[in-house]
């Protein structure tokens, strides 16, 4: 399998994955043009997309969905709650192939797709794992905390794109964010702080994860350097060495076209 993070931030999120010659995306928070440009940069084409898996209905995850549904005749999968919101908001065109996550077994991809619930302030947020029979990879962002369900699904993954949304001290100093918004982000249905991401990263590496990509970093309350240092320090504390025991990187706001082999 190969993973290409096309964009990852509090403004837009989209991840392209391919296995056995078939590609698909998780979320389409960027514009359709940005999606096409990102795939082209990676040596792929929008026609390589065979399915779309949506995590939830917030704009940074479905911002480009309406245009994509008009341009591509591919199935779109989401939880029942998210699908209802997508339809209610008019984010898909008439005639789009819509399926709930109960029908993932019929997805036209060469991997087993599993959806699991995540704690986020949306209708019914889910994240996904993909298993090709040998390796499992996961894309998991937008969670206020790591629940037993999240843990059970991610443990044992070879590659994980995991949320490291904010640095608590940096957000505390951010005078542009009102108190109510900060409380929403910090809540159990908000986003994962660097420290919480680092603590869970220790569990993941101990369970066999060898590649971590930190995603959904806030452009206002975090930096790649802070997030990476927090996670690397936590892993070093129990003897795991970056570059020897695991690979660690931070997803760019706009992807570089670099494919991560899994």
pLDDT one-digit tens code per residue, 182-241:
999 999 999 999 999 999 999 999 999 999 999 999 999 999 999 999 999 999 999 999
Q: Scanning the structure block, which residue is given the tokens 């993941």?
A: 204
The pLDDT assigned to 40 comes to 95
Number of structural domains the chain divides into:
1
**106-133: average pLDDT:** 97
> pLDDT tens, 30-76?
999 999 999 999 999 999 999 999 999 999 999 999 999 999 999 99
| Residues of the domain holding 241 | 2-261
Q: In this predicted structure, what is the pLDDT of residue 257?
A: 79
Check residues 260 and 155 and name the one with the higher pLDDT: 155
H helices of the chain, in order, are: 32-41, 59-62, 65-71, 80-88, 148-154, 168-173, 179-186, 194-206, 224-236
pLDDT tens for 85-119 read 999 999 999 999 999 999 999 999 999 999 999 99
**Domain harbouring 192, CATH code:** 3.60.15.10
In the three-class reduction of DSSP (H, G, I as helix; E, B as strand; rest coil), residue 119 is classed as coil
Q: What is the mean pLDDT of the chain?
A: 96
pLDDT confidence band for 258 (50 / 70 / 90)? confident
Query: Rounded distance, CA 209 to CA 160, Å?
Result: 7
Whose tokens are 């892993």? That residue is 235
């Amino acid at each position: 399998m190969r993973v290409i993070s096309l964009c990852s931030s509090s403004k837009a999120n989209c991840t392209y994955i391919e296995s056995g010659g078939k590609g698909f995306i998780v979320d389409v928070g960027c514009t359709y043009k940005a999606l096409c440009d990102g795939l082209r940069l990676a040596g792929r084409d929008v026609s390589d997309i065979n399915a779309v898996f949506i995590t939830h209905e917030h704009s940074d995850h479905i911002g480009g969905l309406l245009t994509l549904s008009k341009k591509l005749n591919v199935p779109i999968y989401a939880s029942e709650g998210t699908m209802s919101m997508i339809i209610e908001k008019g984010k898909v065109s008439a005639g789009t192939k819509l399926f709930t996550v109960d029908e993932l077994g019929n997805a036209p991809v060469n991997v087993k797709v599993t959806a699991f619930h995540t704690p986020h302030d949306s209708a019914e947020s889910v994240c996904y794992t993909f298993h090709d029979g040998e390796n499992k990879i996961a894309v998991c962002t937008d969670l206020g905390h790591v629940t037993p369900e999240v843990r059970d699904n991610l443990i044992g993954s070879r590659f994980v794109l995991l949320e490291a949304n904010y640095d608590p001290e940096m957000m505390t100093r951010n005078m542009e964010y009102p108190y109510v918004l900060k409380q929403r982000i910090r809540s159990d249905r908000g986003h994962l702080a660097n420290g919480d991401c680092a603590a869970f990263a220790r569990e993941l590496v101990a369970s066999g994860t060898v590649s971590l990509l930190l995603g959904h970093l806030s452009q206002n309350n975090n930096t790649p350097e802070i997030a990476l240092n927090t996670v690397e320090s936590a892993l070093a504390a129990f003897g795991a060495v970056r570059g020897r025991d695991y690979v660690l990187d931070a997803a760019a706001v706009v992807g570089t076209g670099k494919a991560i082999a899994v």
